[in-house]
Structure formats: structure tokens, C-alpha cells
DNA sequence: GAAATAGCGATGTAGACAGCATGTC
DNA sequence: CTACATCGCTATTTC
């Protein structure tokens, strides 16, 4: 089918496609059009990755808009939301407006209402539906990307329920579900009342094979010799082989890139280091230069060991990729790989699920992964391996893609062929009938008025994929009753016979997008705090008066390690004597200010949110158990709730891992350097940001819950939230709230005697300039953001900075210690709020 | 005698959505 | 109930 023949699209679109070189639809796309995607028909497309699914979605959305409708594109990851948005923006010249809505990147509701295509994550859509976003009623077309993820036990039910709700709100809704090739696409089609297009077709051929001994055996029977020297590893040999292969006749690209999938972060890093030796030898001097620049950018993202290791690899043309990387690291690596500067990436599954990074050769090195519940190494799902292999073959660059599994012996080779190459992907199974999923979704369904009775809930659930699949009819009803009991017992719903209504707290919980169990934990903790306030305060005061004890037991350890605690950098007495009331750091011995210690403390609140099911906790390594048991007793008065007995193994263990996670947050909010934190907790920079982001969200929710049940805790909660948000001690909260001022600059300003925004408006400009390391543009921006009338630095002499020895000292030290993504340019410091 | 290497036990294990208010594309 | 690669260490061999 010719694109020129497509009917129902906005004028100019077929011509645009032709100009992009798309004159003929791919067979699956043509099938989709025949099935009526451009005429508003619902469709399930179960096709391989990179076979043009996105165009099917675009045709559906553009034709829907042309008919006067509005389209929603649901993605599983935030990173994909921005990728898709960028892709769809090429239609703007034909009058199509594109908007995005995700947790961290949002546009106002009114603005979205005016957009034609909206890209959002499934959770965000769920939340918008819960909160009755007005434009939801106007939708006429919904695309669900990667719909096979309904199989995911954690996030699948959200997609499933959300699609159900959207269809219920708008009975005529066109649903276009894009799926990888799965075992049972007909189930999905039946559930969505949609036509099914099923295809194995791909635009670039994919050869799948297994490497064993000195050759790869492919699924088409062909073989390719790849010799592995004695004592050498298979992976470097395969990477070198394809890098040296320029026999594709297409152009002089000097051979192809590889993606290597491994099963742990550590393996990804170790493998990348080894592969760097392979790639380094094959770089041109031009490439070396460009890679060196990228390596520097990587170092500028974060001053941590992970960052440094990555930069070293990248300089040599290799990289690793996993969730411990900061978002900026990831995109730098992905971009450089697409630009063919980085020749190989060793990655965990992040890359298979994330943004598009095609490669000439994909090597699935590890096909088993440790699984604690399983109790050992578990083979990956066929679907997952297929997703990885599907990354092989760069359109327009490679004659075909190659996906290679590794085997150490002939038996394994045969097993891999059976298990992954000849095998079809598993069927998708709904995970809806599990208590954690239903807890959230039943409450939301009641709260947003989708159902008012138990019967109504069951009726709604009857429309889900789960219902079309189950062969155990009573199960959903049983779990529903358990969940309703739970919700009632915790005061989120009230029941009157068959009727179910959400309480005021229940509405809040649903709106805040909290797992009800998290909300219950937070509410219990806050209530406990207000019941035990006096007693605990006395305990805390007692300790504070008793001795000049160190605030934290490990301070000595830190000192041994040559680490200077943030608190030690704070001048003992404020630089100006008047005391701004902004709250000083808790100094240990005799205090000259009123001892109005806040309660609950930040650590107590961090611990509270860390023990909710919405927080992914750090887990205890060997030796941690002792360390954190001790810490637990020491900080016990701060924890909100009774510490479980040490003999309650599981509960106690969870309590400790929550404490460990809380401590990470406390370190962050005590201005401990990023590299210090990564080292101490064995995490990557991306993990810190992830934890901080989640904590920020949960504390925000806690703040609102506190307002609802017991306002006495709202202030401490808000303060704790702002401390994680900015990564600062309490005295810096005001300064760090200024745009362009993060934890580092706030601390420097504070040390220069500028403690508040008001100070900043009055302060001597040369002092500000010196505190900001002589960066005039930055200083101007900061002053302007602080609301100063005359931010210009033109009249300030550079030499003034030299008059301030303290600040000069700071500059040198900061150069060494900066770990916060500060680049040496005027726009250097991102506000700590905008991760990701 | 220093350095390479083999052997051994301890160790640790993928991923990532969401509120709200604001600022930004 | 289940694994396995890596790391840091020591014992042993090698030049």
C-alpha cells in the first residue's frame, strides 16, 4: 500500500511521509490500515520491535485528530515520553500540537486540553483519570505502547485498569495496542474488542544464533567463524569481530557496533572495562578527540567513582549502562552510541526496555539472572531475550542485524536454540488479582466514582483482561473482599451493606497516588508521633544535655577517612551575630538558643516514608546488620513507632533496611558529598537521585496527610521534604529555594554571611560574587532570582574577590569536592529539583 | 627473589512509576 | 531445595 493513497489524514501528511522516504507501507502497517486504524477501529498489533509500530500509532492518532478528536499515547517510561514527543513534533507544521505529561515534566491541565496528541506514562494517565482531568472526556484515540507490560506484576495492573477506565468513560474510544510478539495476542484483542494484526515481519533481517567454540551458528543454518584464543573470552572476540567487519558494502563505517547484555551492574562495568581494550585500538584520532570531550561531560555530571569509571571507558570507545547511572550519563552514552562514537555498550536490561539504541550486533551474554524468590539463577523470559535481540540491526546502516547468545558447551548451545531461538514468547497473563494491585485500584475506583457498590466494583473488574483470562472464577471476588476489608479497617472507605464510599482520607490517598498501605503506615507513624511527642522529646533533650556527644556516632569514622563533615564547615557561630531565626545546625554543647528541637526529626520522617511499600529500600549487605542494629538503638527515640523485636526476623530486617535508606537521605540532607554517599551505601549516582525523588514525593504526600489528620506534624514534614529536595541542612532551605542556587552555592553564600534571600537582596555584590567563585553571569542570575532590583555586576571589580581570603579558600576546596554536576559554565548549576 | 598464577572462600546480585507548584519546551 | 562471576587473599609455581 502506498502512503500517498492513505485517506483521512491531515493535509500534507502523506506528502511529508513521502519526503521522509516512506512511500510504501510495511506489510504489518498496511494490514493495520486495512483493519481500519485510520478509520477509528481498535487494533492490537503484535509485531517485532522496530517494525514500524510507531507509524501505525501515528496514522491512528493523526486521522483521529483530523476527524476532530484528541489522542493519547501511553508509554511505560518517562524517557520514552520525551522520545515520542520529539518524534511526534514533526507533525506540528500540519497543525498538530503535542504535549507531555509525566511526574517530573508536566504541563498545565488547560494547556494539555488544547493539545491534539498527549504523551504520558500509564501511572500519570491513571492519576489524571483519578483526578478527573477535563480533557480525558475528549479523547477519541488511545495508543498503549508496549502493552505486553500488563504482564508486569508491579505496574501491569495500572495499565490494565487505566485502559478499562478510559474505555468506560468513552465507549466509542479507539484503542490501538502495540505489543511485542507474545504468545497470546488474541487474548489482548478479545479484551479490547479489537482487530488483531500479527506479524513476524521486520524491515531489517535479524539473524539469531549461538556462539560456541570458534563459530556462531545462526538460525538460518549459516555459520560464521569467530575464533576465541585459549584463555580469551567470547564477548571481546565477538565485539572485535564485528568491529573489524566492514564487508557490508554500504559505506566505509569501519564495521559495526555491539550491545552486550549482562545480568548485573557489576558485570556491566567489568565487561565494559575489558571491552574498552578492544575498542581503543580501533579508534581514529578524530574519534578519540570527540570521545575525550564526551568523557569530560560525563565527569561533569557527577563526581563519583561510577562516573569516573564510565568516563574512562567512554574515552576508549566503550561504555556501560545501568540504572545506577544518572539520567544525564545515560543519555550521553545513548547519544554517543547512536552517533557511532561509542562502539560497544555493556548493559543491564535498562537498555532493552528504554529508548531506541539499535546496534549491528547484539550479544546476550547472560541469559540467567539471580532471583531471590526463585532462590538462584533463573532463566530470562523468552520475551525479554527477544526484546534484547530485537535491538540488532540499524536501519539504513546494516544489511541485517545479528543477535548472538553465548554457550560454553554443545549442550548449552542446543538448549539456547530450543529455549530462545526457536521458541515463541510466553503468553501475557494479567497480574491484577493480587492484593497490592487491587488495594490501590479499588480505592481509586471508588474514590473517583467509577463504582459505588461491591457489585459495581466486581462488574468493573469483569471488563479487565484478568477476567477474560481467568479460569478461577471466585478468586477476584475473594481478593476484592479482602481488600475492601482492609480499606475499611484503615478508614479509607466506609461500607453500608453493599455500598462503598471513600472517606475524606480515602479521597486524599487516591489523589496523592499513594499505595493505601503506604498511607496507612504514614498515618500510623504520624499519630504515634503525636501520642509520644512529650516522652520522646524528653528522651532527646536528655541525651542532648547529658554530654557533648557527637551528633552522629560515626563522626569519628568519617574523620579517620579524612572526610570533613558538612557541619564542620559551618562556622560555629553565624557570621553575623543577630541570628536570623532560620534555625542553626544542632550544635552539641551548651546551647545559647532555646532548645525547641523539632519533633518528629528528619531522620524519623525519612525512616517512616522509607518503610512504606512505595519506597524501594536499600538492602543490607554483610556487616550492615550489626552496624544498623547499633544505629537503630542509638537513634531509637527519633523513630516513629515501636522498633520490632530483634527476634522478629523479617520485620526487624525491614526496619533496618528502611533505616539504612533513611540514613542515605539524612546524609544527602546533611550536605554529604555525592561520591561519599555512593561509596558508603554502595549505590550509584542514579540511585541517590531515585531515592531522593521518591522521598520527596512521599514526604509531600505525608505533608498533606498530616494536614488532614494531625496538623501538628505538617511543619516538620515540610521541612524534611525541603531538606531532601534541595539536599541541604535546615539553615539553607531559604537560599536553596532560589532558582540557580543548589546545595553547594547555598552553602558558600551562607558561609560568606548571606543567610537568607533578604540578605541576598541587601548584600555587598562583591561578597556575592566571591562566594559564587567570581562568576559574574551566575551572580547576576542568582541576584535576579532572589528578587534584587539591581542585579547587574558590571560595576563590581573582579579584584574584589581577592579581598576575601575565606572565599578564595572555598574556591580551591570546592574544585576538589564539588560533586554536583556543576560544569564550569555560567549556567552550571541545575536546581536540585530537576533531576532526570 | 620478584612476579605471575592458581586456588579458595566470601560476597552480592535488574528495573523505576507517582503529588504539587513552578518553570520550560 | 536450586547459581555463578568477581574479588581479595594466600599458596604455589615460574622466570
Cell output for A450? 467509577
State mean pLDDT over A693-709: 96
A123, closest nucleotide (Cα–C1') = B17
- pLDDT at residue A595 in the model: 52
Per-residue pLDDT at A297 exceeds 60? yes
- pLDDT at residue A545 in the model: 60
Residue A471: pLDDT band by 50, 70, 90 thresholds?
confident
Per-residue pLDDT at A825 exceeds 70? no
* CB-strand contact A264/C, under 7 Å: no
Residue A578: pLDDT band by 50, 70, 90 thresholds?
very low
A327-CA/B13-C1' distance, Å: 22
User: What is the rounded CA–CA span in Å between residue A281 and residue A292?
Assistant: 15
CATH number (3.90.1420.10, 3.40.50.150, 1.20.1630.10, 1.10.3380.30) of A518-549+588-726 reads: 1.10.3380.30
Q: What is the pLDDT of residues A811-824, one digit of tens each?
A: 333 433 333 333 33
CATH 1.10.150 range(s) for chain A read 734-817
Cell output for A38? 485510520
CA A698, A628, A712: angle at the middle one, nearest 5? 35
Per-residue pLDDT at A253 exceeds 60? no
Measured to protein CB atoms, the chain B nucleotides within 7 Å are 10-25
- pLDDT at residue A250 in the model: 53
Residue A798: pLDDT band by 50, 70, 90 thresholds?
low
CATH 1.10.3380.30 range(s) for chain A read 518-549+588-726
User: What is the rounded CA–CA span in Å between residue A5 and residue A651?
Assistant: 64
Residue A712: pLDDT band by 50, 70, 90 thresholds?
confident
* CB-strand contact A409/C, under 7 Å: no
Residue A565: pLDDT band by 50, 70, 90 thresholds?
very low
CATH 3.40.50.300 range(s) for chain A read 3-198, 205-421
Strand A344-347 with A368-371, pairing: unpaired
In sequence order, the 6+-apart residues with CB closer than 8 A to the CB of A527 are: A709, A710
State mean pLDDT over A40-58: 94
Residue-averaged pLDDT of chain A: 87
Cell output for A210? 549461538
Per-residue pLDDT at A451 exceeds 60? yes
User: What is the rounded CA–CA span in Å between residue A316 and residue A290?
Assistant: 11
- pLDDT at residue A232 in the model: 78
Mean pLDDT lowest among A19-23, A248-252, A473-477, A621-625: A248-252
How many C-beta atoms lie closer than 10 Å to residue A187's C-beta?
19
State mean pLDDT over A655-660: 95
Maximum pairwise Cα distance, chain A: 85
Name the burial class of residue A5, with classes exposed (0-12), middle (13-18) and buried (19+) by CB atoms within 10 angstroms of its CB: exposed
Task: Mark the binding-site residues of A for ATP, compressed into ranges.
Answer: 29
Per-residue pLDDT at A680 exceeds 80? yes
- pLDDT at residue A552 in the model: 44
* CB-strand contact A377/C, under 7 Å: yes
A348, closest nucleotide (Cα–C1') = B14
Mean pLDDT lowest among A118-127, A507-516, A589-598, A813-822: A813-822
Q: Which CATH architecture best describes the domain A3-198?
A: 3-Layer(aba) Sandwich (3.40)
Q: What is the pLDDT of residues A229-241, one digit of tens each?
A: 777 788 999 999 9
* CB-strand contact A271/C, under 7 Å: yes
A85, closest nucleotide (Cα–C1') = B25
A621-CA/B11-C1' distance, Å: 9
Closest CA to the C1' of B18: that residue is A513
Mean pLDDT lowest among A374-378, A584-588, A746-750: A584-588
Residue A836: pLDDT band by 50, 70, 90 thresholds?
very low
A309-CA/B6-C1' distance, Å: 28
DSSP class per residue in A223-242 = EEE----TT--HHHHHHHHH
Strand A499-502 with A493-496, pairing: antiparallel
Q: Which CATH architecture best describes the domain A435-508?
A: Orthogonal Bundle (1.10)
Strand partners, A225: A215
* CB-strand contact A376/C, under 7 Å: yes
Q: What is the pLDDT of residues A739-790, one digit of tens each?
A: 889 898 999 999 888 999 888 888 888 888 888 888 888 888 899 888 888 8
Q: What is the pLDDT of residues A330-370, one digit of tens each?
A: 999 999 999 999 999 999 999 998 899 999 999 999 999 99
A365, closest nucleotide (Cα–C1') = C5
Beta carbons of A662 and A603 less than 8 angstroms apart: yes
- pLDDT at residue A161 in the model: 97
Residue A217: pLDDT band by 50, 70, 90 thresholds?
very high
Sign of the Cα torsion A241, A244, A246, A252 reads: positive
User: What is the rounded CA–CA span in Å between residue A310 and residue A334?
Assistant: 13
Per-residue pLDDT at A163 exceeds 90? yes
**Which one is predicted more confidently, A287 or A806?**
A287
State mean pLDDT over A512-528: 96
User: What is the rounded CA–CA span in Å between residue A365 and residue A416?
Assistant: 12
A510-CA/C14-C1' distance, Å: 70
Per-residue pLDDT at A636 exceeds 90? yes
Cell output for A545? 544535655
CATH number (1.10.150, 1.20.1690, 3.40.50, 1.20.144) of A734-817 reads: 1.10.150
A836, closest nucleotide (Cα–C1') = B16
Cell output for A59? 496514522
A369-CA/C1-C1' distance, Å: 18
Percentage of the residues of chain A whose pLDDT score is greater than 70: 88
Domain A205-421: what homologous superfamily? P-loop containing nucleotide triphosphate hydrolases (3.40.50.300)
User: What number of helices (H) and strands (E) belong to chain A?
Assistant: 36, 19
A227-CA/C14-C1' distance, Å: 28
Q: What is the pLDDT of residues A529-559, one digit of tens each?
A: 999 998 999 888 877 665 444 444 444 333 3
State mean pLDDT over A161-166: 97
A476-CA/B10-C1' distance, Å: 46
Closest CA to the C1' of B15: that residue is A350
State mean pLDDT over A93-108: 89
Amino acid at each position: 500500500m502506498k502512503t500517498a493513497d492513505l485517506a483521512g489524514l491531515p493535509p500534507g501528511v502523506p506528502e511529508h511521509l513521502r519526503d521522509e522516504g516512506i512511500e510504501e507501507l510495511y506489510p504489518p502497517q498496511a494490514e493495520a490500515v486495512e483493519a481500519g486504524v485510520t478509520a477509528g477501529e481498535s487494533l492490537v498489533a503484535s509485531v517485532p520491535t522496530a517494525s514500524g509500530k510507531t507509524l501505525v500509532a501515528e496514522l491512528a492518532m493523526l486521522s483521529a485528530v483530523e476527524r476532530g478528536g484528541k489522542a493519547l499515547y501511553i508509554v511505560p517510561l518517562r524517557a520514552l515520553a520525551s522520545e515520542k514527543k520529539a518524534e511526534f513534533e514533526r507533525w506540528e507544521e500540519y497543525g498538530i500540537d503535542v504535549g507531555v505529561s509525566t511526574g517530573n515534566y508536566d504541563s498545565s491541565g488547560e494547556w494539555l486540553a488544547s493539545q491534539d496528541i498527549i504523551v504520558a506514562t500509564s501511572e500519570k494517565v491513571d492519576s489524571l483519570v483519578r483526578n478527573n482531568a477535563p480533557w480525558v472526556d475528549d479523547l477519541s484515540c488511545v495508543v498503549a505502547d508496549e502493552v505486553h507490560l500488563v504482564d508486569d506484576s508491579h505496574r501491569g495492573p495500572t495499565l490494565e485498569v487505566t485502559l478499562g477506565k478510559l474505555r468506560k468513560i468513552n465507549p466509542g474510544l479507539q484503542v490501538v495496542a502495540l505489543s511485542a510478539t507474545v504468545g497470546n495476542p488474541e487474548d489482548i484483542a478479545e479484551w479490547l474488542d479489537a482487530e488483531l494484526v500479527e506479524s513476524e515481519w521486520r524491515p531489517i533481517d535479524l539473524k539469531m544464533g549461538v556462539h560456541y567454540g570458534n563459530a556462531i551458528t545462526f538460525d538460518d543454518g549459516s555459520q560464521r567463524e569467530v575464533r576465541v584464543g585459549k584463555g580469551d573470552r567470547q564477548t571481546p572476540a565477538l565485539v572485535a569481530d564485528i568491529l573489524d567487519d566492514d564487508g557490508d558494502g554500504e559505506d566505509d563505517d569501519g564495521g559495526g557496533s555491539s550491545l552486550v547484555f549482562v545480568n548485573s551492574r557489576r558485570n556491566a562495568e567489568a565487561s565494559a572495562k575489558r571491552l574498552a581494550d578492544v575498542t581503543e585500538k580501533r579508534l581514529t584520532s578524530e574519534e578519540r578527540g570527540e570521545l575525550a570531550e564526551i568523557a569530560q561531560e560525563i565527569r561533569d555530571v557527577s563526581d563519583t567513582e561510577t562516573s569516573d569509571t564510565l568516563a574512562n571507558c567512554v574515552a576508549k570507545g566503550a561504555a556501560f549502562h545501568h540504572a545506577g547511572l544518572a539520567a544525564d550519563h545515560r543519555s550521553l552514552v545513548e547519544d554517543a552510541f547512536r552517533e557511532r562514537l561509542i562502539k560497544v555498550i555493556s548493559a543491564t536490561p535498562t537498555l532493552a526496555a528504554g529508548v531506541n539504541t539499535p546496534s549491528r550486533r547484539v550479544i546476550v551474554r547472560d541469559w540467567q539472572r539471580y532471583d531471590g524468590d526463585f532462590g538462584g539463577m533463573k532463566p530470562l523470559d523468552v520475551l525479554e531475550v527477544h526484546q534484547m535481540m530485537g535491538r540488532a540491526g540499524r536501519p539504513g546502516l546494516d544489511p541485517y542485524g545479528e543477535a548472538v547468545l553465548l554457550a560454553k558447551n554443545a549442550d548449552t548451545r542446543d538448549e539456547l536454540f530450543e529455549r530462545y531461538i526457536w521458541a515463541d514468547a510466553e503468553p501475557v497473563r494479567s497480574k491484577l488479582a493480587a492484593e497490592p494491585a487491587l488495594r490501590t485500584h479499588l480505592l481509586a475506583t471508588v474514590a473517583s466514582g467509577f463504582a459505588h457498590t461491591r457489585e459495581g466494583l466486581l462488574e468493573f473488574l469483569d471488563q479487565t483482561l484478568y477476567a477474560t483470562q481467568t479460569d478461577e472464577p471466585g478468586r477476584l471476588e475473594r481478593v476484592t473482599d479482602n481488600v475492601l476489608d482492609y480499606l475499611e479497617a484503615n478508614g479509607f472507605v466506609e461500607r453500608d451493606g453493599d455500598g462503598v464510599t471513600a472517606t475524606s482520607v480515602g479521597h486524599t490517598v487516591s489523589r496523592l497516588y499513594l499505595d493505601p498501605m503506604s498511607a496507612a503506615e504514614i498515618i500510623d507513624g504520624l499519630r504515634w508521633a503525636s501520642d509520644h511527642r512529650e516522652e520522646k522529646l524528653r528522651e532527646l533533650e536528655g541525651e542532648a544535655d547529658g554530654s557533648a556527644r557527637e551528633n552522629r556516632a560515626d563522626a569519628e569514622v568519617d574523620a579517620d577517612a579524612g572526610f570533613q563533615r558538612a557541619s564542620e564547615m559551618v562556622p560555629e557561630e553565624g557570621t553575623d551575630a543577630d541570628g536570623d531565626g532560620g534555625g542553626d545546625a544542632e550544635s552539641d554543647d551548651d546551647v545559647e538558643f532555646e532548645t525547641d528541637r523539632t519533633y518528629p526529626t528528619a531522620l524519623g520522617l525519612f525512616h517512616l516514608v522509607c518503610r512504606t511499600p512505595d519506597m524501594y529500600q536499600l538492602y543490607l549487605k554483610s556487616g550492615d546488620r550489626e552496624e544498623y542494629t547499633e544505629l537503630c538503638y542509638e537513634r531509637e527515640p527519633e523513630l516513629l513507632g515501636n522498633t520490632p523485636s530483634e527476634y522478629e526476623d523479617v520485620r526487624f530486617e525491614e526496619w533496618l533496611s528502611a533505616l539504612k535508606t533513611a540514613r542515605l537521605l539524612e546524609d544527602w540532607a546533611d550536605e554529604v558529598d555525592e561520591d561519599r554517599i555512593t561509596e558508603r551505601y554502595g549505590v550509584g549516582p542514579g540511585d541517590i537521585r531515585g531515592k531522593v525523588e521518591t522521598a520527596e514525593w512521599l514526604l509531600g504526600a505525608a505533608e498533606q496527610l498530616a494536614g488532614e489528620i494531625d496538623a501538628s506534624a505538617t511543619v516538620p514534614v515540610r521541612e524534611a521534604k525541603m531538606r531532601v529536595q534541595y539536599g541541604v541542612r535546615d539553615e539553607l532551605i531559604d537560599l536553596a529555594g532560589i532558582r540557580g542556587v543548589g546545595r553547594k552555592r547555598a552553602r558558600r553564600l551562607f558561609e560568606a554571611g548571606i543567610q537568607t534571600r533578604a540578605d541576598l537582596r541587601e548584600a555587598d555584590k562583591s561578597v556575592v560574587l566571591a562566594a559564587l567563585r567570581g562568576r559574574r553571569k551566575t551572580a547576576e542570575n542568582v541576584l535576579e532570582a532572589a528578587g534584587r532590583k539591581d542585579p547587574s555586576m558590571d560595576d563590581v571589580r573582579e579584584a574584589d574577590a581577592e579581598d576575601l581570603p575565606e572565599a578564595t579558600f572555598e574556591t580551591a576546596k570546592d574544585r576538589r569536592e564539588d560533586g554536583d554536576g556543576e560544569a564550569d559554565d555560567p549556567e552550571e548549576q541545575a536546581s536540585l529539583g530537576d533531576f532526570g
